[in-house]
Each structure stands twice: as structure tokens, then as C-alpha cells.
Amino acid sequence: MSQDDKPFGEVLRERRIAKGYSLRKFAEMVGVSPTYLSQVEQDKVEKPPTAERVRRMAELLGANADEWSALAGRVPEDLPGIIKKQPTQLPELLREASGLSPDQLRRLTERIRRMKEKGEQ
């Protein structure tokens, strides 16, 4: 079963245990109560942790913060500000990129990086 097939709480619990963190210690490191963390891991909360807390969890557990944000149903905190800077072009870009394969998206990202490095407009 892939990580995508599991709920956020289950993935979180598995990774936390694999890294050797107790529930209490990990909750303290993330800034939540052990009771809340237990509820998250059991998928018994209405709302997942904030995007910032999900990012912190991912960092502590050596996971990709963007992947974990998506798994938790959150949007990384920096994205709304980025989109607001170009409210027409960026949503259009995202819509056009929707449906591309992971390899196509990787190549597109690499192309964008090269454009930025060269200062292309």
C-alpha cells in the first residue's frame, strides 16, 4: 500500500514510531498536546493540523513537507501569497499544468529554474 492510500494520521503515526519518537515527545516538539496528536493519528479530528504544524512534523520526520501538506488536506502557507502576486497568470499556469505527468512537471520545473537563473522575462 502506498503512502497515498493511507490517511494522514496513519502515515504520521508510522513515521513517528519508525523514527523512535514517543507520542508525548513528538507532540511537545510540534507544539500540540499529546491528546490532540493521538486524535490526529487516529483520524478523529475534524480539521488537520495547521499547514505550519504539518510542515514541522514533516521536517522532524524527514518527509517532504509539500507531500505531507497535500496528504493532510492543507495548502503550504507560502502559496496564497505567491498566487496573490500574480492572480491571473499563476492560477492559469496551475490549470494548464494540471494533468501533466510527474516527469512532465519535473521538466517544466527545471525549465522554470533555468529561466529564472538566466533572468529571462
Mean pLDDT of 68-87: 93
Residue 47: per-residue pLDDT: 86
> Which one, of 66, 62, 61, lies nearest residue 109 by Cα?
66
Residue 1: per-residue pLDDT: 39
Residue 4 has pLDDT above 70, yes or no: no
Instruction: Decide if domain 3-71 falls under CATH 2.40.10.10.
Output: no
Residue 2: per-residue pLDDT: 45
- Domain layout of the chain by residue ranges: 3-71, 86-118
Residue partners of 22: CB distance under 8 A and separation at least 6 = none
Residue 45: per-residue pLDDT: 93
Residue 5: per-residue pLDDT: 83
